[in-house]
Structure 1
Amino acid sequence: MRLEDLVNHVVDKENFQTIQNYISFCRNYLEFIANGLQARIVSQNENHYQFYQYTNDGHYNITRPINTNLMYDAGIFEIAYNQFLQVIEQLRDRQLPEESLRQVLICTIYTLQQTIGATLDALPSGKSNQARKVNGDLFERLIRLLIAYLNIDCVSGTIQVPIRDDNGVILFNTTYQHDLLISEDNELKIIGSVKTSSKDRIDKIFVDKFLYNKLTSTDLPHIAIFLNDVQRKKTKQQNRYGINATFLPGHFKAYTIKLNPLDGVYYCDIRPNMITDGLISQHIQTIDNFFYRDIWNLLSSHGQSLEEVEIEEGENRESE
């Protein structure tokens, strides 16, 4: 498949309705880059990151950073995606997959999404906003499809939340929009945010939890799922690139301590300081932990009755 065909396919979100749609696209992209790139540029500061440069069919554009420790090539993906399907089938059947398959889960989700993002990087510079929007929407949809595959009710949309006075009388309703609204047994159990990066968004996620639980007098779990927190940076030498981290550890720790901790923060491409920092490492984990353990623990907690909150399904217009 040509790069032009891949780009035309990825910009139409209707082409991504099932997990298999994501897998099929990923296979096509990985086959293309095996021989279709102008160059692979190694990051100057963290060498396990690469940038793909396209030929004239992709305007000689250079992609986002790709973590080669997580990104499968075409040959390995052919094996890994079947193992990935095995993992989610076992989880759907409420069986715990082998520990050795945790990395397959992380790498497959990462590869599925980064093939989309890297393809969108082939768009001309004037369409960068469109690329960000499509990339964010498709990552949000991928996570939602995976959760729904586990036979768990999961939608994106708005919820009408009743605001009560001290006597429990409903004064009015207020509306909240969220990427993930996860329900079970006629109760809203989890509210989630899904973004490709925490850049410019982490503050809002903490505040959303604080306001929602304050206004509703509940303690409903709020989680966040991110793909990565790195971006390309230019070095002083021409045509040489490195990466910048976009995670703000000071903000994260301040909100965790002084506002409220989130009930789970998950990454595919986790940064070193998220592992080594004593406080941050208590709250941020790789995404396998969400699917292997945490989602089930959160579903077992008391939720908010769906008779009390009204959910209107519809994709988040602000996804990025």
Structure 2
Amino acid sequence: MSSLSEDLQKTKSDIQQFRDITSRVLNYIPDVLDEETEFIGYQICSSNIAGTRKSIRPFRNDLFIRSVNIFNDRYGSFEEIINRLKNEEREFTQDEYHLVDSVVYTIQQAMGIGLDLMVQSNSARKHVGNRFEELIRTLLSNLEISIKKVVLSIPYETDEGNKYYRCETDVIISPFESVKSDATSINQNEIVVSLKTTTKDRMPKIFIDKVLMERFVGHPVRVVGISQNDIQRKEDTGEIKISSTFVSNLFMVYTRFLAQLEGYYYLDLPSKALERPFNQHIFTFSKFLLKDVWKMLNP
């Protein structure tokens, strides 16, 4: 078996791989976390090993499952929900919505915590982003939704002749047996999904890419966004706190004057998303997985 550090850095494409790595991290972290404080519903932890202090990403108390036994139990319930979705069941309780958010959040956050503890920070950020994209793609594939990463090749003229701008999509989902979009077109029945662990410094690209794709293909393109969270650690006069990285005014200005997305979904919803008008555009990931994606694919 690979070491935990090696496993965290490996590409994953099977849902069982995500369950296994989460269980390994949950078993590991109680032995190494020795500093802990709570701030507005988030746990802020650090590890001191052999004189080396490492801080881990804050995790939300009502979403993160710290016990490996409880996680495995709830993961079993999560699998049952996935099977019900495959059987075209669409009615779920609020507890089941929360369970989906909690299990998926725990998987992603556990991988991030493990990488924080074991991998150099720049490399850790890259792997966290890669695992997030792989997790969402794997969940969609597991639901038998056709997916594909498409790179649009957009030409522009220069003195040296035509050049091409590569407009990469994170994933396109389709109601068909296979994705019909390609390097020169986006099928109008398909949906572009933007996957970002956080919108910090990335929000403009989500909206601008939608405008660019629509101008290039000559028709409306449906785009949704999915993020893990928009929070970060912040030290204020020696006290460790949590700060939001969600730029709410920018989101609404882009939504009103630039382009409107089909929806933006979070594993850990920003508090601002509970207020109007944000709650008309920003939702929990469970709403996407259990309800909205099926309506989008079968309007």
Paired residue for 2:183?
none
The reply to whether residue 264 of structure 1 matches residue 263 of structure 2 is yes
Kept after mapping to 2: 8 A contact 1:199/1:246: yes
The reply to whether residue 27 of structure 1 matches residue 23 of structure 2 is yes
Encode CA deviations 1:231-261: one digit per residue, 9 max, x unaligned: 0001213xx3101100001100100110111
Paired residue for 2:233?
232
Give 1:6 deviation, angstroms. Answer: 2.2
Give 1:36 deviation, angstroms. Answer: 3.5
- With the length of structure 2 as denominator, give the TM-score of the two structures: 0.87
Secondary structure, counterpart of 1:198 in structure 2? coil
Secondary structure, counterpart of 1:101 in structure 2? helix
Give 1:21 deviation, angstroms. Answer: 0.5
1:155-174 counterparts in 2 under 5 A?
A: 155-160=148-153
Amino acid at match of 1:217: G
Amino acid at match of 1:285: F
Paired residue for 1:78?
72
Paired residue for 2:292?
294
Query: Residues of 2 paired with 1:131 and 1:8: CA distance?
Result: 12
Give 1:57 deviation, angstroms. Answer: 6.4
Quickly say closer, same or farther: Cα 1:296–1:173, change in 2 above 3 A.
farther
Amino acid at match of 1:256: T
Kept after mapping to 2: 8 A contact 1:90/1:97: no
- With the length of structure 1 as denominator, give the TM-score of the two structures: 0.82
Give me the CA root mean square deviation: 2.3
Give 1:54 deviation, angstroms. Answer: 1.8
Provide structure 2 residue ranges, at least 5 long, that are not aligned to the other structure.
157-161, 181-186
Amino acid at match of 2:168: Q
The reply to whether residue 94 of structure 1 matches residue 88 of structure 2 is yes
The reply to whether residue 184 of structure 1 matches residue 184 of structure 2 is no
1:203-222 counterparts in 2 under 5 A?
A: 203-222=204-223
Amino acid at match of 2:77: Q
Kept after mapping to 1: 8 A contact 2:55/2:116: yes
Paired residue for 2:6?
8
Secondary structure, counterpart of 1:40 in structure 2? strand
Paired residue for 1:106?
101
Encode CA deviations 1:5-43: one digit per residue, 9 max, x unaligned: 422321233xx2211101011111112223442222323
Give aligned-pair identity as a percent: 29
Quickly say closer, same or farther: Cα 1:41–1:255, change in 2 above 3 A.
same
Paired residue for 1:132?
125
Kept after mapping to 1: 8 A contact 2:173/2:192: yes
Kept after mapping to 2: 8 A contact 1:58/1:123: no
Provide structure 1 residue ranges, at least 5 long, that are not aligned to the other structure.
164-170, 302-320
Figure out how many residues of one structure are paired with residues of the other and give that number: 282
Encode CA deviations 1:194-247: one digit per residue, 9 max, x unaligned: 11111001111011111111221211210100000000001213xx31011000
Secondary structure, counterpart of 2:219 in structure 1? coil
Query: Residues of 1 paired with 2:108 and 2:114: CA distance?
Result: 10
Query: Residues of 2 paired with 1:6 and 1:294: CA distance?
Result: 35
Query: Residues of 1 paired with 2:213 and 2:195: CA distance?
Result: 17
Amino acid at match of 2:38: V
